[in-house]
């Protein structure tokens, strides 16, 4: 689930205002999976129903975090301090940051997955050893009978 937070800074310090742009912005990003640049939020038709007189966002630049062609998040920057608005070059820079961030996140996810597999392999090795130790080392040999058997421990559980 994506959350959007708007930070407003003034002379008295900063405070964070929770803001429900997340569903609209996330929906747009999921549908289009491409960067979004809006320099006049009041005039943008895509999000016009969110805009009111006290709307705290004037401009935004948002790019998807893509890992293996799947969107895993969004980086969004609001309200550029200067009046000229966000530029295409700034959007390219944010896209580069998002690409690298998505790769770092994906690598971390793969590391966690590999660690879980390592733990599971070790648990299966221990279960294999326990299973083999529960059985006699050789089959009983009652007179007049030939008994043979083989034990193949499980390689997975289900």
**% residues pLDDT > 70 (the chain):** 78
Residue 3 has pLDDT above 80, yes or no: no
Q: Stretch 100-122: mean pLDDT, rounded?
A: 93
Domains of the chain: 5-111 (3.30.450.40)
Tell me what pLDDT residue 77 has: 87
Residue 151 structure tokens: 């034990």
Q: What are phi and psi of 9, to 5 degrees?
A: -115, 130
pLDDT (tens digit per residue) in 18-38: 455 667 777 888 888 899 998
Residue 29 structure tokens: 């990003």
Residue 90 structure tokens: 């700034």
Helices (H) and strands (E) in the chain, counts: 2, 5
Tell me what pLDDT residue 53 has: 66
From CA 80, how far away is CA 54, in angstroms rounded? 17
| Cα four-point dihedral sign 78, 80, 86, 89 | negative
Sorting pLDDT into bands at 50, 70 and 90, what band is 17?
very low
- For the chain, the straight-line distance linking the first and the last C-alpha, in angstroms and rounded, comes to 31
pTM, 2 dp: 0.65
**What average pLDDT is seen over the chain?**
80
CA 144 vs CA 3, 141, 147: distances in Å: 76, 8, 10
């Amino acid at each position: 689930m994506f959350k959007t937070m708007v930070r407003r800074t003034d002379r008295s310090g900063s405070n964070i205002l929770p803001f429900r742009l997340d569903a609209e912005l996330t929906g747009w990003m999921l549908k289009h999976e491409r960067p979004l640049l809006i320099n006049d939020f009041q005039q943008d038709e895509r999000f016009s129903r969110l805009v009111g007189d006290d709307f705290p966002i004037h401009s935004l630049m948002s790019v998807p975090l893509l890992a293996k062609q799947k969107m895993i998040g969004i980086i969004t920057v609001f309200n550029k301090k200067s009046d000229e608005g966000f530029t295409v070059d700034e959007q390219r820079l944010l896209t580069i940051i998002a690409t690298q961030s998505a790769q770092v996140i994906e690598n971390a996810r793969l590391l966690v997955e590999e660690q879980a597999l390592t733990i599971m392999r070790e648990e299966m090795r221990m279960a294999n050893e326990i299973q083999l130790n529960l059985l006699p080392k050789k089959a009983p040999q009652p007179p007049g009978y030939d008994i043979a058997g083989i034990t193949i421990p499980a390689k997975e559980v289900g």
